[in-house]
Structure 1
Amino acid sequence: MVFEQFATGGCQSYLVGCETSRAAVLIDPELSAIDRYLGLAAQQGVQIRYVIDTHTHADHFSAGRELGKALSAPLVMHRSSPAPHADMRLDDGDMLIVGQLRLKALHTPGHTQDSMCLVMEDRVFTGDTLLIGGTGRTDLPTGDPHALYESLFDKVLKLPPQTLVYPAHEYKGRSHSTIGAEMADNPRLQKTDRAAFVEMMQQLNLAAPTHLTEALRTNMTGGKSVAQLLAEAAAKTPFMSLAELNERIGGNSRDMVILDIREREAFEAGHIAGARHLPRGQLELRVNTEFPDPTVRIVTCCELGKISTLAAATLRELGFRRAVALDGGMQSWREAGYPLEM
């Protein structure tokens, strides 16, 4: 069996393949690690047949949709997943066949309504249902401590004690556990009485995950994250360095316009000499009157260099093919000691 485990922060992803057929599945991929998955699959000589999300993640951005499109492989989720872009939906007990491998889905709601575990030979991929030394939280959207109790004690913990446990998250550097070890040592599993377990889960008082609403929005709808939008804009936009722009100021730059897209208060507090002001929110509405010549060279700038990247990409899509973004933004300009005009 081909088996590779990826750690991206606390997120755990798994590439599992059949040595004979070289077919594989990728479980719980994270958006920032797409190139790592593709590189290792190529290195291992396997073809990813299915991309699987064990549940709707609330603490990171799933790469399921992007990888599914790139690989022409179906994105697999549980039947109750809200994601409209899931290509294949599994019911409790359904099985995926990948070469000589068999992966059986167990519907294990509790952390989320669509949570499922994947049982394969000597191991189980538990998503966020069962963690090493813990369990998934139940206070996020569609979470239910009663359902989690049933999923754990009536399903997952009835697997053989020697079954290897591979969760979707692990923050202490451990690679895996076993069902037997978790039953013996996991403090949350010592609450074997339903009422005691539910009370414990309701009193955890955990902090909300970073990017909670954005992660849920993108993972539930297939929409894009802000980081994706910025990365896509940066991929099709050239940049100008701070030093290059500073050298060009005051020179023969009649065909170059510095366009400051911050709000007026920020612009008036200090801007690059000769810059014109056009807030980002008005760009599309005023660009034709402000710039009748589409061949003009436009250098966009904002505070941190992110909104200006989006603006430059928009200008290029509108036909201003010489639009570029200032690398670093006004914060970097000030820190470098370049002059400002009030």
Structure 2
Amino acid sequence: MIFEQIATGGCQSYLIGCDQSCVAALIDPELSQIDHYLALAAREGVRLRYLIDTHTHADHFSATRELARRLDLPVVMHRASPAPFVDMRIGDGEMVVLGKLRLQAIHTPGHTADSMCLLVDDRIFTGDTLLIGATGRTDLPSGDPEQLYDSLFNKVLKLDPALKVYPAHDYKGRSHSTIGDEIATNPRLQKRDRAEFVEMMRNLNLTMPTHITEALRTNMSGGKTVASLLAEATSAVPFMSLAELKSRVEAGEDDLIVLDVRERDAYEAGHIPGARLLPRGQLELRVNQDLPDPTRRILACCELGYISTLAAATLRSMGFVRAVALDGGMKAWREAGYPLRSGKEA
């Protein structure tokens, strides 16, 4: 067996493959690690065949959709998954074949309705159903403590105690546990009475994941994250430094239009001398009126540099091929002590 565990903060993902047929799958891949996964597959000499999510993640961004697009590979999830881009929907007891390996799905709803564990040889990938020293929470969309109790006590914990447990998350640097160790030491599993377990799960009072809305939106729909949009824009846009812009403004360069894409109140509180105001939300609607010459060099600026990067990418896509973004933003401009003007446009 070919096996690699990849940690991204508290998220755990896995490359598992057959060393005889040199085919592999990624389990619970994380979006920021795509290049790492591809390098691992190349290093191990395997061809990726499947991309598997054990459930709809709410606390990180899945890489399955992006990898599927790049590599033309099938996305595998339980049949209860709401995601429309899933290619292979599997049910309880069904298997994914990887050469000589067999990954058997065990439907374990509770953390989410589509949660499943994957049993292969001497290990089980438990997603967020069973964690090391904990369990998945049940207070997120489609969570159910009653179902989690059944999934744990009537399915997972009845498996071989020697099975190695590899969860989708661990925040203490641990790589794995065993079923036996979790039965003996996991505090939540000591509540073996159904009513006590359910009451405990309903009263955990955990904080919500930082990016829950965005994670659920992208993982359920295949939509793009804000970080992905910014990365795409950054790859398509040149930048100008603060010092370079300062020298051009002081020289009164006629060929450069400084376009402030913040809202009016922020612009009037302080802007780069000579900058024009065109809020990002009005850009597409006003661009023909405000920027009639597509051959001009346009520099977009905003408070922190993110919105201006998106604005510059939009301008380029609309035919303003000399659009660039300010490297940094007005915050950095002010901190550098560079000149400002306040009030309305001249």
Normalised TM-score (structure 1): 0.99
User: Is 2:69 the counterpart of 1:69?
Assistant: yes
Cα deviations across residues 162-215 of structure 1 (Å, max 9, x unaligned)?
Answer: 000000000000000000000000011111110010001001010001111111
Q: State how 1:141-156 maps to structure 2 within 5 Å.
A: 141-156=141-156
Q: Please tell me the residue identity of whatever aligns with 1:118.
A: L
User: Is 2:179 the counterpart of 1:179?
Assistant: yes
Deviation at 1:281, TM superposition (A): 1.0
Aligned residue in 2 for 1:30: 30
Cα RMSD (Å) of the superposition? 0.7
Deviation at 1:335, TM superposition (A): 1.2
Paired with 2:283 and 2:66, the residues of 1 have a C-alpha distance of: 30
Aligned length: 342
Q: Please tell me the residue identity of whatever aligns with 2:103.
A: L
Paired with 1:177 and 1:92, the residues of 2 have a C-alpha distance of: 23
Aligned residue in 1 for 2:262: 262
Of stretches 35-44 and 166-175 in structure 1, the one that deviates more from structure 2 is: 35-44
Aligned residue in 2 for 1:214: 214
Aligned residue in 2 for 1:318: 318
Aligned residue in 2 for 1:243: 243
Gaps of 5+ in 1: none
Paired with 2:188 and 2:252, the residues of 1 have a C-alpha distance of: 70
Paired with 2:216 and 2:252, the residues of 1 have a C-alpha distance of: 50
Q: State how 1:89-168 maps to structure 2 within 5 Å.
A: 89-168=89-168
Paired with 2:31 and 2:8, the residues of 1 have a C-alpha distance of: 10
Paired with 1:336 and 1:61, the residues of 2 have a C-alpha distance of: 36
Q: Please tell me the residue identity of whatever aligns with 1:180.
A: G
Aligned residue in 1 for 2:201: 201
Normalised TM-score (structure 2): 0.98
Aligned residue in 2 for 1:285: 285
Paired with 1:254 and 1:22, the residues of 2 have a C-alpha distance of: 61
Where 1:68 maps in the other structure, the secondary structure is helix
Deviation at 1:339, TM superposition (A): 1.2
Paired with 2:299 and 2:195, the residues of 1 have a C-alpha distance of: 63
Q: Please tell me the residue identity of whatever aligns with 1:181.
A: D
Gaps of 5+ in 2: none
Paired with 1:287 and 1:177, the residues of 2 have a C-alpha distance of: 58
Deviation at 1:252, TM superposition (A): 5.4
Q: Please tell me the residue identity of whatever aligns with 2:27.
A: I
Paired with 2:341 and 2:101, the residues of 1 have a C-alpha distance of: 67
Aligned residue in 1 for 2:226: 226
Q: Please tell me the residue identity of whatever aligns with 1:208.
A: M
Q: Please tell me the residue identity of whatever aligns with 2:332.
A: S
Q: Please tell me the residue identity of whatever aligns with 1:291.
A: L
Where 1:249 maps in the other structure, the secondary structure is helix
Where 1:165 maps in the other structure, the secondary structure is strand
Runs (4+) of structure 1 exceeding 6 A deviation are none
Percent of aligned pairs sharing the same letter: 71
Where 2:250 maps in the other structure, the secondary structure is coil
Where 1:42 maps in the other structure, the secondary structure is helix
Q: Please tell me the residue identity of whatever aligns with 1:44.
A: E
Q: Please tell me the residue identity of whatever aligns with 2:243.
A: A
Deviation at 1:250, TM superposition (A): 3.1
